[in-house]
Structure 1
Amino acid sequence: MRFRWTSTKSGLGKGDVRLNVSSSELWGHAVANITPSAMPTVTISLVAIHGGSFTWLAYALIGVLMTLVAVQVGVLARHFPSPGSLFFYLSKALHPISGMIAGFTMMAGYFGALAAAPLLGGLFVEQALRFFAPVSGMGWIAGIAVLYLLVAWRLALRGIEISARWGLWVEIFSILCIVLIAAVTLWHFGWHDPAQWNFRRLHTAPLAQALVLSLLAYGGFETAGNLAGETSAARTAIPRVMVLSVLMVGGFFVAMAYVEVLAFAHIPTSLGDSAAPLNAIAEAIGYPWLGIFSDLAMATAAFSATIATLNSISRILYSMAGHGVIPRFFHHRDAGYGTPARALRVLAIIVLLSVAVVALWRIPILSVVGTFGTFTGLAFLLIYGLANIATPWFLFRQRHARRWISLIIAGISLPLLIKVMAVSLWPLPAGGEGAATLLFIALVMVIFFWGLYWAAFRPERLRHILVAVDEP
């Protein structure tokens, strides 16, 4: 794919620049957005409270569901490749207003992940450093977070190929750290755990709640679509990567859930009550120093997530600006690197300000992560639900041969997504999570009525969304 653009500073044409991301880098970008390392190090405890011995089954069932969702999103990516991803897919397949809702909620959701990732990285680096020196305090965390952001921003500005490659290798290192702990755990305890296979003890209601919580671990695979303008054979490569990334992280989730439940059967504390399960396992098997690999895994995963979300949001801003939804200012690529530099600079400044606020007000990092995570999770649920409506709707309009398959997939996945959304919205969570939920509802309503206003009084604005701008 070749892009030609003009520098707004000089007004001089800079010629054609070829941007080409390999399949492995595309996969690394998607996996970095999913951040699989967070599951065994942090979020598995929430699922295990309800899943118990069948936590692995919850991740397996949701893995199948999310694979079906990835197939649906992949169909849209094949027909409407665009850096705007689901913003453009839903605009074309369903309605421009649904695209606007998806675009703004995606940006807000991904920004929640972007703002939390450097802080989370700072927290885990600080914990890792405690093995060697008595370091602690918000100053350390904020300083490391700023360093994370600046390095990630510079890599993202230099080009998607180099930043995706860095993100891929960093994520591989993170997963290897976790696999090391899992291997030592199996060597210590063995692999056989009859309790996890005794299905007579399986109860439907707790498993259903575990399914709800495990679903959010898979979010982020759709960001592969944000690189449509920089990937060769985008119509085939991106759908394949979406499905592959879900399958691969799903296998990792199921395996780690089995290993951690097995290990905690020999630990007095329950897995659901553990804030740092891998560290607890390292302590239990007599190698507490292995806990540093858990901290390093999350620290490096946070860095790859920072790069990936910078790349994703900047390209959504670029696409939405090109379609006239947000100011044209963001529809600009750097003359030298070909990256959406203005969007990247604005994002970096906003995240720097958020880090400063957290540091100055000494807001607990995990509460920040929980608040932003609520917003991000709701955004995933909404856009996946809309994709399951849009895909069969579009295929039936086209009388496509696979339209009935798409409808069956939607009939399986859409009810569960709606159930998860309902549970997430009511009863309203307390504290920051509740505030994030109300803010999310308000954002969706504002964008919806904004779209209705355009439909009634500015229909040309909605029509312009359907026009391809710098699309493959």
Structure 2
Amino acid sequence: MRKGGGVTLGRTSGDRINVSELWGHAVANITPSAMPAVTISLVAIHGGSFTWLAYALIGVLMTLVALQVGILARHFPSPGSLFFYLSKALHPIAGMVAGFTMMAGYLGALAAAPLLGGLFVEQALRFFWPVSGVGWIAGIGVLYLLVAWRLALRGIEISARWGLWVEIFSILCIVFIAAATLWHFGWRDPAQWNFHRLHTAPLAQALILSLLAYGGFETAGNLAGETSASRTAIPRVMVLSVLMVGGFFVAMAYIEVLAFAQIPTPLGDSAAPLNAIAKAIGHPWLGIFSDLAMATAAFSATIATLNSISRILYSMAGHGVIPRFFHHRDVRHGTPARALRVLAAIVLIGMAVVTLWKIPILSVVGTFGTFTGLAFLLIYGLANVATPWFLFRQRHAWRWISLIIACISLPLLIKVTAVSLWPLPVGGEGAASLLFIALVMVIFFWGLYWAAFRPEHLRHILVAVDEP
């Protein structure tokens, strides 16, 4: 049992993984490789020459959010992460809403990651022989999931280490392309420093879109039961992971905008910007490194997300919010085995549906990405309310600093949420948005019902949980 109501996992009481592996777990959930390989195009449509500035400003904002979440992690270490933080600092109903939306959001990411990995493996294989079809992608995705599931089942120290090295390889692939780009084009681009051309309205839209690239740092808190000195290590890792990926985002945004100044197709219209850059510098074979980067990043994200969701399930089951069935750990490896098996089964069923119905992979990724993004916005917004609320109740020395941070970050988070929901997106993204709203409302009214007729259930969320 962990002081403050958290729970522990594993055969020992806390020193299973080191700080570098904890950092790798958080970065793998952020999946920084997706930004230069895919999502930068969405930001560049509005950011133009100042795309790097959008990522820099949002990096500062998300560092402030990470500080807020880190304060909660220091006071309430738990594998339930924001589920338990918000229950203790704000209200158990807020914790319930955060817990279920986190699980649903991460589950969306987990469902999309193996398929996205299969898609990029297929693209990489095309450099050597022709392969195509949903069957190939689904088959590779199933292999991704099964290997990641086996590593997660064997132990957090093994899966975190694998995730760390895979993520390092992914980033190195992209850095290699970036270095080749600078060698070819040079590093000077006066247009990106000509602030007389900066327009506020387009930059504001770029800020909104770039925010979601940073989501996932809070998953470091899910390993509170398996990390030595979790009260100090986890808050540091949250902030450090945002700072490090922020630097990577800013550098890659600058380099890609610089390169696309020499390419007829605008960066905002490119579906595969790194591949386009590779062709522009006369080495199209470099595009394979972009595909390998995304393929390996998808694998590390699969491992990290399995670890995160399984521990949220474990924690919420221990606090009586979901069936006790999930509050069980493997005798041999000390991992939440039941939760991992259920998660693997759900994702396998989802892959079968995608394959049999021939659903486009990128539409699946877009639909699940919408849900995951909304989940991030909600939990970060709640954290910015909960942290100053808790610190003022405790008369903590940091209470005014926390309030200032909240006054800066909360309005932007609300703005991003409003823009994401209205006008309502069409297609799968719109359906995902409506489903997210419905989920939040159901959990909220469920919590109100417990408050009125089953208050002991809410009280149980706040007490310490003994291991089985």
For the aligned pair, the TM-score class normalised by the smaller chain equals over 0.9
| Whole-angstrom CA distance in 2 between matches of 1:456 and 1:211 | 41
Matched position secondary structure for 1:191: coil
CA contact (8 A) 1:320 1:326 kept: yes
| Whole-angstrom CA distance in 2 between matches of 1:353 and 1:100 | 26
The alpha carbon displacement at 1:344 in A equals: 0.1
Distance 1:196 1:97, change over 3 A: same
The alpha carbon displacement at 1:13 in A equals: 14
The alpha carbon displacement at 1:217 in A equals: 0.1
Distance 1:193 1:225, change over 3 A: same
The alpha carbon displacement at 1:411 in A equals: 0.5
CA contact (8 A) 1:58 1:207 kept: yes
Distance 1:383 1:327, change over 3 A: same
CA contact (8 A) 1:229 1:470 kept: no
CA contact (8 A) 1:81 1:471 kept: no
Note if 1:264 corresponds to 2:267.
no
CA contact (8 A) 1:156 1:163 kept: yes
CA contact (8 A) 1:20 1:232 kept: yes
| Whole-angstrom CA distance in 2 between matches of 1:224 and 1:414 | 22
CA contact (8 A) 1:29 1:164 kept: yes
CA contact (8 A) 1:395 1:403 kept: yes
Provide Cα deviations, 1:295-325, integer angstroms capped at 9, x if missing partner: 0000000000000000000000000000000
| Residue number among 107, 110, 119 corresponding to 1:111 in the alignment | 107
The alpha carbon displacement at 1:471 in A equals: 8.7
| TM-score between both structures, scaled by the size of structure 2 | 0.96
Distance 1:378 1:261, change over 3 A: same
CA contact (8 A) 1:58 1:214 kept: yes
Matched position secondary structure for 1:332: coil
| Whole-angstrom CA distance in 1 between matches of 2:455 and 2:10 | 33
The alpha carbon displacement at 1:247 in A equals: 0.0
| TM-score between both structures, scaled by the size of structure 1 | 0.95
Provide Cα deviations, 1:338-363, integer angstroms capped at 9, x if missing partner: 00000000000000000000000010
Provide Cα deviations, 1:201-228, integer angstroms capped at 9, x if missing partner: 0000000000000000000000000000
The alpha carbon displacement at 1:244 in A equals: 0.1
CA contact (8 A) 1:85 1:223 kept: yes
| Residue number among 10, 13, 25 corresponding to 2:10 in the alignment | 13
| Whole-angstrom CA distance in 2 between matches of 1:449 and 1:242 | 32
| Whole-angstrom CA distance in 2 between matches of 1:470 and 1:365 | 42
Matched position secondary structure for 1:76: helix
Distance 1:470 1:234, change over 3 A: farther
The alpha carbon displacement at 1:82 in A equals: 0.2
CA contact (8 A) 1:20 1:230 kept: no
Aligned residue number for residue 51 of structure 1: 47
Provide Cα deviations, 1:382-408, integer angstroms capped at 9, x if missing partner: 000000000000000000011000000
Provide Cα deviations, 1:13-54, integer angstroms capped at 9, x if missing partner: 9999x6777xx0000000000000000000000000000000
| Whole-angstrom CA distance in 2 between matches of 1:467 and 1:86 | 16
Matched position secondary structure for 2:168: helix
The alpha carbon displacement at 1:468 in A equals: 2.1
| Whole-angstrom CA distance in 2 between matches of 1:245 and 1:419 | 24
| Residue number among 321, 324, 337 corresponding to 1:325 in the alignment | 321
| Whole-angstrom CA distance in 2 between matches of 1:254 and 1:182 | 12
Distance 1:13 1:141, change over 3 A: closer
| Whole-angstrom CA distance in 2 between matches of 1:404 and 1:153 | 43
The alpha carbon displacement at 1:420 in A equals: 0.3
Task: State how 1:361-400 maps to structure 2 within 5 Å.
Answer: 361-400=357-396
CA contact (8 A) 1:167 1:307 kept: yes
Distance 1:13 1:113, change over 3 A: closer
CA contact (8 A) 1:48 1:210 kept: yes
Once the two structures are aligned, what percentage of the paired residues are identical? 92
| Whole-angstrom CA distance in 2 between matches of 1:110 and 1:468 | 25
Matched position secondary structure for 1:13: coil
Distance 1:391 1:13, change over 3 A: closer
Provide Cα deviations, 1:154-205, integer angstroms capped at 9, x if missing partner: 0000000100000000000000000000000000000000000000000000
Provide Cα deviations, 1:397-446, integer angstroms capped at 9, x if missing partner: 00001100000000000000000001011100000000000000000000
The alpha carbon displacement at 1:469 in A equals: 1.7
| Whole-angstrom CA distance in 2 between matches of 1:364 and 1:139 | 12
Distance 1:140 1:113, change over 3 A: same
Distance 1:419 1:399, change over 3 A: same
The alpha carbon displacement at 1:470 in A equals: 4.8
CA contact (8 A) 1:156 1:307 kept: yes
| Whole-angstrom CA distance in 1 between matches of 2:146 and 2:115 | 13
Aligned residue number for residue 94 of structure 1: 90
Aligned residue number for residue 146 of structure 1: 142
Q: How many residues were matched structurally?
A: 458
Aligned residue number for residue 215 of structure 1: 211
| Whole-angstrom CA distance in 2 between matches of 1:279 and 1:295 | 8
| Residue number among 221, 230, 233 corresponding to 2:229 in the alignment | 233
CA contact (8 A) 1:170 1:300 kept: yes
Provide Cα deviations, 1:239-291, integer angstroms capped at 9, x if missing partner: 00000000000000000000000000000000000000000000000000000
Distance 1:353 1:231, change over 3 A: same
CA contact (8 A) 2:50 2:203 kept: yes
CA contact (8 A) 1:226 1:316 kept: yes
CA contact (8 A) 1:82 1:471 kept: no
Moved over 6 A (4+): 12-16, 18-21
CA contact (8 A) 1:83 1:471 kept: no
Distance 1:75 1:470, change over 3 A: farther
Matched position secondary structure for 2:129: coil
CA contact (8 A) 1:85 1:225 kept: yes
CA contact (8 A) 2:115 2:361 kept: yes
